[in-house]
Structure 1
Amino acid sequence: MEYTSGSASWRDVVRRAVRGLLRRRRGAEQPGWSAGVPLIALLAGLLFTTTATTASGTSLREDRRPQLAQLIDDRRTQLAAAEKRAAQLRDQVDRQTELVAGSDEPIARQQARIDANRSAAGFTALAGPGVIIELDDAPRLTDLPDGASNDDLVVHQSDVQAVVNALWAGGAEAMSIMDVRVLATSAVRCVGNTLLLHGGVYSPPFRIAAIGDPSALQQALADSEGVQLFRDAVTHFQLGYQETVEAELAVPAFDGSAALRHTTVPESAR
């Protein structure tokens, strides 16, 4: 829809309204409904002028979804470039630290202490026996069970968290979600049926890999109330749950920043 100049259309409407009111005051016989014509014209002019000002020469009904999708793609590209640059800078810092440690005894001792804890902290890749869990959305059902909704057909944040917590409780030595290493500071969040992890966005099926004693890990999953609730949903709503034992499973090292952004003191330590 195209709009004319707001000021020009407004002046035209005002002139017509004034002429209509002047004729009314001269006592001309007019139908009762015609008395409201100037007021209607005045309101219509106000509406068109406001719309033209808001539109600023563009269409108010234009579909902006392509622009939004492009904006998301641009931000993802920028994020990937920033993460690549950050990884290069971390490597540079590590190399410089190793060089300094060769001639500085205090730094060498601290570097040795850090290296001894890198594996436990998740900064080295590990391999060994373990289990892989896959959680997936259900197919779109034409006939839902009584009392069910489409919200029952997707994997939720609580489902992923239940599996992760059960695997840690079962003695997992290392864990990854969608091939991204999970640390003690990792936060699992979902928006709709997508997973947010360390700045990345992932769609189901969600693949969770854990290195550890397979029997202990499977027992921890079986004992978890949250996992059992999801398995019940698998039966009722055809959600996907697959549990696989692997004799040799690889978990990558964490390559992001481990800096803490938020922390609180436990009640017992206050």
Structure 2
Amino acid sequence: MSLLTNVMDHSLDEGYAEAAARKQADGTGGLPRTARAKLVLAAGLVLAALVVTVGAAQTRYVAPVVAKEREELIDRIDRQTEAAEELERTVDKLRDDVNARQREALEESGDSGSTDLVAVLSGAVAVHGPGLKLVVDDAAEATTGGGTDPRETSGFSDTGRVKDRDMQRVVNGLWESGAEAISINGQRLTALSAIRAAGDAILVDNKPLVPPYTVLAVGDGKRLSSRFQDSADGVYLSVLQDNYGIRTAISVQEDVRLPAAPSVTVRTAQPRTEKDAS
């Protein structure tokens, strides 16, 4: 009985117990290193799979919402564009009505000729007649040119592109050479027009234009062409063409047609009355 009692009380051999205690003290007990590494790797893979699954689920949930918002935004832009175009058509009709009534009233007073001239010079009405066509375009390869930039500024890194100040000089040169009406890419110029830049784009009355820039001018075509090319602004354009590859083409036209200016609004000037003259 004492042997059975000893076996039950000491089921683990003392040598094994001593070896286990020694391994535990040395930190080598528990799972082997390979097993622990596999366990950590498995846990990492499970975590990564969980993150990918959650991300995919969120994307799947958000994608229809984003697509719907995009469609709504496009529809809203289309509606607003149509509304703006309708307003422009209404303005054109009202302008034509005002001009017709004005002309009738002046015909009754016998002073319609001066009003027609003012309307032409102000850009309030469409015009046509002999003139010239001047096309100005960027260089074929708009790169930095050599020599002295006639624009006299170091702010231009790409002298092969037509700038707003170039078009300003072209337009001013045409006015000085005797042009009676001018448009750029169908945009009628008036005394209130502004030619500005927004990045690489040229704006005429806040409307962006893209090259090539087609300038139409009403006037005595041959005389207008000759005087412009001999002027300082015509020489300036030739320098841009020779030094920087900016492309130009000028031709006399038998009949050019210019639209009316989209808006002629005077905010400060007032018509002079007989009382002011006295």
TM value normalised by structure 2: 0.55
How big is the alpha-carbon RMSD for the aligned residues of Structure 1 and Structure 2? 3.9
Partner of 1:85: 90
Q: Percent identity?
A: 27
Partner of 1:259: 265
Give the 3-state SS of the residue equivalent to 1:130 in structure 2: strand
Contact 1:179 1:251 in 2 (8 A): no
State the Cα deviation string for residues 134-163 of structure 1 (Å, max 9, x = none). Answer: 11112335x744589652121111111111
Is 1:218 aligned with 2:219? Answer: no
State the Cα deviation string for residues 14-62 of structure 1 (Å, max 9, x = none). Answer: xxxxxxxxxxxxxxxxxxxxxxxxxxxxxxxxxxxxxxxxxxxx9xxx9
> Aligned letter for 1:258?
V
Give the 3-state SS of the residue equivalent to 1:139 in structure 2: coil
Contact 1:125 1:250 in 2 (8 A): no
Counting only pairs closer than 5 Å after superposition, residues 33-182 of structure 1 correspond to structure 2 as 79-94=84-99, 101=105, 108-109=108-109, 112=112, 114-115=115-116, 117-140=118-141, 144-145=144-145, 150-182=157-189
Distance 2:207 2:109 in 1: 35
Contact 2:145 2:159 in 1 (8 A): no
Give the 3-state SS of the residue equivalent to 2:237 in structure 1: helix
Distance 1:82 1:236 in 2: 46
| Structure 2 CA distance for partners of 1:242 and 1:137, relative to 1, 3 Å | same
| Structure 2 CA distance for partners of 1:155 and 1:79, relative to 1, 3 Å | farther
Aligned residues: 194
State the Cα deviation string for residues 156-175 of structure 1 (Å, max 9, x = none). Answer: 11111111111111111222
Give the 3-state SS of the residue equivalent to 1:153 in structure 2: coil
Distance 1:231 1:183 in 2: 26
| Structure 2 CA distance for partners of 1:115 and 1:126, relative to 1, 3 Å | closer
1:204 Cα offset (Å): 0.6
Contact 2:163 2:197 in 1 (8 A): yes
Give the 3-state SS of the residue equivalent to 2:179 in structure 1: coil
Give the 3-state SS of the residue equivalent to 1:131 in structure 2: strand
Distance 1:75 1:234 in 2: 42
Contact 2:129 2:256 in 1 (8 A): yes
Structure 2 residue corresponding to 1:232, chosen from 236, 239, 247: 239
| Structure 2 CA distance for partners of 1:182 and 1:156, relative to 1, 3 Å | same
Larger Cα-atom Rg: 2
Is 1:200 aligned with 2:201? Answer: no
TM value normalised by structure 1: 0.57
State the Cα deviation string for residues 180-205 of structure 1 (Å, max 9, x = none). Answer: 32222222223233232244321010
| Structure 2 CA distance for partners of 1:167 and 1:107, relative to 1, 3 Å | closer
1:222 Cα offset (Å): 2.4
1:251 Cα offset (Å): 2.5
